[in-house]
Amino acid sequence: MTANTNTMTRTRTNERTNVAVQTEISRGAVATMVGAGAIVGLWSFASLVGGLVVAGGPIALAQSWFGALLGM
């Protein structure tokens, strides 16, 4: 009996896969930054509303802010 061994070596480079991975990483980074920006924006809006409620309205808030800024 004769044993016949076939060895095939395939070298395959695929730059397209590397680009696709980088694109997915970029999308994930952008989504993370947008999410963080949304959280910061919601927090600032909630803080502004809280300040308006505590001060008694937008005019009182502006007067208090300028008073604190000028040291009065």
Percent residues over pLDDT 90 in the chain: 61
Q: Which domain holds residue 47?
A: 15-70
Q: Is residue 19 part of a domain?
A: yes
What's the Cα-to-Cα distance from 16 to each of 10, 22, 59, 66, 70, rounded to whole Å?
Answer: 18, 10, 59, 57, 59
pLDDT tens for 46-65 read: 999 999 999 999 999 999 99
- Decide if 9 is inside a domain: no
CA distance 31 to 51: 30
Q: What is the pTM of this model?
A: 0.59
Question: How many structural domains compose the chain?
Answer: 1
Structural domain includes residue 28: yes
Determine contact, residues 45/39, Cβ cutoff 8 Å: no
